[in-house]
Amino acid sequence: MFLKKLIVISLLIVANFSLAQKRKKIDTVYVYEKVIVYDTVYLEKPIKIVSKEVLIPKYSITEIKIKNNLKTTQNNVEIKSYPLLEYGIEAGIGLKNSSWGKELSTKKQQFGENLGVWISKSIITPRLSLMLSANVYYWNSSFDLDANKEDTYLNGYYFTEDHQPLLFQRFNNKHFEYALQLKLFYEWKNIRPFVGFLINRNTYKMQFLVPENNVLDKLDDFKTAQNNYGFTFGVQYRILKRFLLSLDYQQYQMKNLSLKNSSFDFEIFKTNNTFAERKINLGISYIISR
């Protein structure tokens, strides 16, 4: 009896163990590894080499701004820098004295006005500059010889080389003058002395009655058309940044006083004299550039 129970119990244990083995599942286990790579960085400090024999000074660089009219100081001397090229306009008044007109008038001087334009460029140093200017002058008359109003020493008939008659009418020294000037300036503080060379042309006129269709009834002008050469010197003074006052003297020579008309071969003044004309001008200039 006991043996049967033992066998039954053994069979139950074997059966349960067998069933347990059948229900058992197999699990997969994954193993991960974290790999960390380390780099070694070496820092090397520069080696300072100190030479006892060679001394290198330290320089500092600062920002430099250059502008027009910049004032800098060097060795306690003030230096002004200006543009290399300037241009502007000018106007003025003056007196003119002509040696050829002394016998025609008790007034020695003519009063006049002028307008002009100029351009200037620095050369060699900022203190030296060359200026080229063009001016137009208008001179009032200091005498007026009118054959219709008075008996002048020029009244009468004149004849051309081909024997055409001319009748004097009027002559005065009111005229326009055109001048080109090349001047060299030196600037010291606000004072600018200068010297230069000039060329000019005066437009004197004399009126005659000339023949037209064999009748002496046409008014025509005999004019000067010669260039004259001379010199000038003076001084400018800078009163404001853009304004300058100027005072100058001009003198040039005229080889004869030639009055001509392209239609007639005639010249009333037949001399080989050389006349001088002198001027004193006071003016003001305005600088447009900058």
Instruction: Return d(Cα 185, Cα 262) in angstroms, integer.
Output: 41
∠ Cα 131 134 138 (to 5°): 135
Instruction: Return d(Cα 1, Cα 16) in angstroms, integer.
Output: 23
Position 58 scores a pLDDT of 57
**Is the domain defined by 83-287 classed in CATH 2.40.160.20?**
yes
Position 273 scores a pLDDT of 77
Residue 241, H or E segment: none
Instruction: Return d(Cα 177, Cα 58) in angstroms, integer.
Output: 65
Q: Going residue by residue through the chain, which has 290 residues, state the pLDDT in tens, using 9 for 90 and above.
A: 656 666 767 677 766 655 555 554 555 656 555 656 555 655 555 555 555 555 555 555 455 454 444 444 445 444 455 557 899 999 999 999 988 877 676 777 899 999 999 999 998 888 899 999 999 999 998 888 898 888 888 888 888 888 889 999 999 889 999 999 999 999 998 999 999 999 999 999 999 999 888 888 889 999 888 899 999 999 999 999 899 999 999 999 888 778 888 888 888 776 677 888 999 999 999 999 87
SS (H, E, C) 122-174: EECEEEEEEEEEEEEEEECCCCEEECCCCCCCCCCEEECCCCCEEEEEEEECC
Position 163 scores a pLDDT of 86
Closest Cα to residue 145, out of 166, 110, 170, 174? 170
Position 15 scores a pLDDT of 64
Measured CA distances, 170 to 46, 217, 225, 251 (Å): 101, 15, 19, 28
Position 179 scores a pLDDT of 96
Position 180 scores a pLDDT of 97
Position 81 scores a pLDDT of 53
